Structure 1
Amino acid sequence: MVDVIVKGACEKSPDHKITRNDFADEAARKTLFSLFTPMEIDVLFHFASLDNSSGRLSVDDFRRVLDPSWQDPEILYNLSKAEKVEAAKNALNEPSQFLSQVFESAYHFLLGSVAGAFGATIVYPIDLVKTRMQNQRSSSKVPGQVLYKNSLDCFRKVIQREGVKGLYSGLGPQLIGVAPEKAIKLTVNDLARGMFTDEEGNISLKGEILSGASAGACQVVFTNPLEIVKIRLQIQGEVSKSVEGAPRRSAIWIVRHLGLLGLYKGATACLSRDVPFSAIYFPTYNHIKKDYFGEGPEKSLGTGQLLLAGAAAGMPAAYFTTPFDVIKTRLQAEARAGQTHYKNIAHCASTILREEGFKAFFKGGPARIFRSSPQFGCTLAMYELLQKMLPYHHSSGATEAGHSIPSGEPKSIDPDARNADFLRSRNALKILLDIDENFGKPPTLDKPTLKDSWKFIPGFRS
């Protein structure tokens, strides 16, 4: 009845919060002045307002009293973090514990892969324009190499010469690399953060940077082969239009032609790009969520806040690593007749600086920035849509003990804290089972005692 009164009174309140008088008025209407005394209302509000001294309480404030599975959110949050950190620290000694964390994340990785593929497809034309702008050489020694004036001119000419389909050249390798890249990056980042986290659950800025850098380094194993294939597919469209008789190659032909060692051409440059990118992105993203938007045990961020945090963290990470991305593109792209063949990172950097100037190192920089924000937003929106379409009882949208757990944290340790309604029904049934046909009869050897009778019902335990 208290639950009914609280919900009814909160629904009538403009801000969905009530005072003692609001509760008393609603109780009078619901129970005809016969159920609650002023002292009982004072006791109820005393316990419900332990975390809120304003005098105006919401339904969430009353869960401390009404929800039998309620646990202090701060303690629950710290316990879940400690469990995750402990699993990461003991990954070598107890791999099953850490693997269980990874297995629990498999569902999120699957949805993240589909959502990531969707986001990558939406912004892929920007990525193609970025690659072609970075690969375009503006040296005065070889005239006629400048095909595009700027990014918009490149976008327009690709449509004119190759059609809309040309904007998606090389999309296949990009989609193939989404799942392993995200899985390795996020898993290694979580594992490294656990290693650098102290017993109180704190991690230094140095630990955050090293964790992000470790994640970026590990992903190169998958990203480099896929990126070199993607880049060559993206560029061959303009070659076939500008060079007569140039053949169009498939991804399989490129893989066979390059071989295993050729697929890792430019890996050092890829490493030089991905390590600082992740070292900048992950700490910045975490601090924006925590310090600016206030993410914590009492607050999980909404879609808009996550989008802004991801975009804000991705912009500096993308722009400041553009020079390494330009060098990587030049090394992985196939040089044409009359163009300089780069030997290594140092030779490529010095040649670009000498022939094209310092400005050339930031070709495609704006495209990298404008790609990150919409890609993150589309990925996040698709991820939430898939969560609703394919629900999972451990999904991030679930709440524990009436409190939402911020995304990325493990869920409640207590399995009975997942469904307060079930607990209410179970507790009520335990009371009702004391009023059965055996009430008052002496127990026999072949029957359970009255005290333990409810234990024999499947799913119940003390």
Structure 2
Amino acid sequence: MAFKKEKPLHSIIAGSTAGAIEAFVTYPTEFVKTRSQFGGKKERPLTIIRETLKTKGVVGLYSGCTALIAGNAVKAGVRFLSYDYFKSLLADSEGKVSAPRSLLAGLGAGMTEAVFAVTPSETIKTKLIDDAKRPNPQYRGLIHGTASIVRQEGLQGIYRGLFPVMMRQGANSAVRFTTYSTLKQFVQGAARPGQTLPAPITFGIGAIAGLVTVYTTMPLDVIKTRMQSLEARAQYRNSFHCAYRIFTEEGILRFWTGTTPRLTRLVLSGGIVFTVYENIIKVLKRIDTSES
């Protein structure tokens, strides 16, 4: 798997832009997924959408959206930058990166983004969504919600669920990047050797990477959501206790609750992120070439 290192600034700009666009386009599916994973009565995705539109309008489907867009932009920038960095460390003397090493680079990228971007934004987003379904929400938006959480719980309040987030993001990036890189290499080698893939094919490969990622990492996502809910401190001692209670009290299938909306989001996400990223990288390279 030949590897060509991108400029760090290019990776940050392209990754952040791709992450922000993807978050806004796919947010309603994230909202439905998160709502369906809370404890209590199990709600179907269509029921959540219908009730939210009825009581809160379209704006209700975007509760906590600002937190995710900001976090996703930073997350994607950190993800692509760190993945590029780890791949450069793991490349052999010929500049090639094997699938196992690509998996390891993705794992490192996921862990990095979990600490610096994902956990705070996901925790705030989850608490805002959980609060929004109450008759009298206590948070008035991203800034007020964040300030209230920090005031009430300290910095630990926005880093709740760090372990399951690190596990989920590490698995997400490892599976997604490895699947994407392997499929991209196969398609380029079989059909278009040496040529840049067109956007529709890039989107399709990214979508398949998202599909594979969903089914392999869904249990970690459910645990993450439960650990970041408003009632987490009263119900769970830690992530392992949370997993144990879900398994013993609700059954193993509960770990795949929210699969449909998350599948929708990550299939679209994989297509959008990789397509936007690759195209912005091309534009930035052309700008560099014209200026040199």
**TM-score normalised according to structure 2 size:** 0.87
Q: What code does the residue aligned with 2:242 have? A: C
For the pair 1:274 / 2:169, whether they are aligned, the reply is yes
The residue number in structure 2 matching 1:182 is: 76
Structure 1 residue 385 displacement after superposition: 8.2
Structure 1 residue 171 displacement after superposition: 0.8
Within 5 Å, give how 1:238-253 maps onto structure 2.
238-240=133-135, 245=136, 247-249=138-140, 250-251=144-145, 252-253=147-148
**Aligned partners of 1:248, 1:268: CA distance in 2, in Å?**
26
Moved more, 213-222 or 313-322: 313-322
The residue number in structure 2 matching 1:335 is: 231
The residue number in structure 2 matching 1:125 is: 28
Structure 1 residue 197 displacement after superposition: 1.2
After superposition, the C-alpha distances for 1:324-354 in whole angstroms (9 at most, x for unaligned) are 1111111110119xx9611111111111111
- TM-aligned CA distance change 1:157 to 1:382, over 3 Å: same
Name which of 119, 135, 144 aligns with 2:38: 135
The DSSP-based 3-state class of the residue aligned with 1:239 is: coil
For the pair 1:359 / 2:253, whether they are aligned, the reply is yes
- Given that 1:123 and 1:375 are in contact with CA atoms closer than 8 Å, whether structure 2 keeps it comes out as yes
The residue number in structure 2 matching 1:228 is: 123
**Aligned partners of 1:300, 1:371: CA distance in 2, in Å?**
26
The residue number in structure 2 matching 1:309 is: 205
- TM-aligned CA distance change 1:178 to 1:340, over 3 Å: closer
- Given that 1:184 and 1:218 are in contact with CA atoms closer than 8 Å, whether structure 2 keeps it comes out as yes
Q: What code does the residue aligned with 1:102 have? A: P
The DSSP-based 3-state class of the residue aligned with 2:134 is: helix
Structure 1 residue 256 displacement after superposition: 3.0
- TM-aligned CA distance change 1:279 to 1:253, over 3 Å: same
The DSSP-based 3-state class of the residue aligned with 1:301 is: coil
Within 5 Å, give how 1:190-229 maps onto structure 2.
190-221=84-115, 222-229=117-124
Structure 1 residue 119 displacement after superposition: 2.1
The residue number in structure 2 matching 1:404 is: none
After superposition, the C-alpha distances for 1:65-90 in whole angstroms (9 at most, x for unaligned) are xxxxxxxxxxxxx8x93xx3xxxxxx
- Given that 1:216 and 1:274 are in contact with CA atoms closer than 8 Å, whether structure 2 keeps it comes out as yes
Name which of 171, 184, 206 aligns with 1:289: 184
Structure 1 residue 209 displacement after superposition: 1.1
- Given that 1:158 and 1:167 are in contact with CA atoms closer than 8 Å, whether structure 2 keeps it comes out as yes
For the pair 1:102 / 2:8, whether they are aligned, the reply is yes
Structure 1 residue 296 displacement after superposition: 7.2
Percent identical across equivalent pairs? 32
Q: What code does the residue aligned with 2:39 have? A: Q
- Given that 1:211 and 1:279 are in contact with CA atoms closer than 8 Å, whether structure 2 keeps it comes out as yes
The DSSP-based 3-state class of the residue aligned with 2:133 is: helix
**Aligned partners of 2:78, 2:280: CA distance in 1, in Å?**
21
Structure 1 residue 368 displacement after superposition: 1.2
The DSSP-based 3-state class of the residue aligned with 1:278 is: helix
After superposition, the C-alpha distances for 1:214-242 in whole angstroms (9 at most, x for unaligned) are 000000122101110000111212122xx
Structure 1's unaligned 5+ residue stretches are 1-77, 85-97, 138-144, 399-410, 420-458
**Aligned partners of 1:372, 1:305: CA distance in 2, in Å?**
17
Q: What code does the residue aligned with 1:362 have? A: W
**Aligned partners of 2:56, 2:139: CA distance in 1, in Å?**
13
Moved more, 256-265 or 206-215: 256-265
Q: What code does the residue aligned with 2:228 have? A: Q
After superposition, the C-alpha distances for 1:30-69 in whole angstroms (9 at most, x for unaligned) are xxxxxxxxxxxxxxxxxxxxxxxxxxxxxxxxxxxxxxxx
The DSSP-based 3-state class of the residue aligned with 2:185 is: helix
The residue number in structure 2 matching 1:430 is: none
**Aligned partners of 1:345, 1:304: CA distance in 2, in Å?**
39
For the pair 1:173 / 2:67, whether they are aligned, the reply is yes
State the superposition RMSD in angstroms. Answer: 2.9
Structure 1 residue 254 displacement after superposition: 2.4
The residue number in structure 2 matching 1:429 is: none
**Aligned partners of 2:280, 2:104: CA distance in 1, in Å?**
32
For the pair 1:265 / 2:160, whether they are aligned, the reply is yes
- Structure number with the higher helix fraction is 2
- TM-aligned CA distance change 1:215 to 1:296, over 3 Å: farther
**Aligned partners of 1:327, 1:270: CA distance in 2, in Å?**
9
After superposition, the C-alpha distances for 1:2-57 in whole angstroms (9 at most, x for unaligned) are xxxxxxxxxxxxxxxxxxxxxxxxxxxxxxxxxxxxxxxxxxxxxxxxxxxxxxxx
- Given that 1:307 and 1:373 are in contact with CA atoms closer than 8 Å, whether structure 2 keeps it comes out as no
**Aligned partners of 1:380, 1:350: CA distance in 2, in Å?**
36
Q: What code does the residue aligned with 2:198 have? A: G
Q: What code does the residue aligned with 2:8 have? A: V
Q: Say which one has the larger Rg.
A: 1
Structure 1 residue 386 displacement after superposition: 7.1
The DSSP-based 3-state class of the residue aligned with 1:321 is: helix
After superposition, the C-alpha distances for 1:346-383 in whole angstroms (9 at most, x for unaligned) are 11111111111111010011211111222344456666
After superposition, the C-alpha distances for 1:253-310 in whole angstroms (9 at most, x for unaligned) are 2233232122211100111111111111111100100113438762110111110110
Q: What code does the residue aligned with 2:178 have? A: P
Structure 1 residue 127 displacement after superposition: 0.3
Structure 1 residue 110 displacement after superposition: 2.7
The residue number in structure 2 matching 1:6 is: none
**TM-score normalised according to structure 1 size:** 0.56
**Aligned partners of 1:256, 1:317: CA distance in 2, in Å?**
36
**Aligned partners of 2:57, 2:130: CA distance in 1, in Å?**
15
**Larger RCO: 1 or 2 (CA < 8 Å, sep 6+):** 2
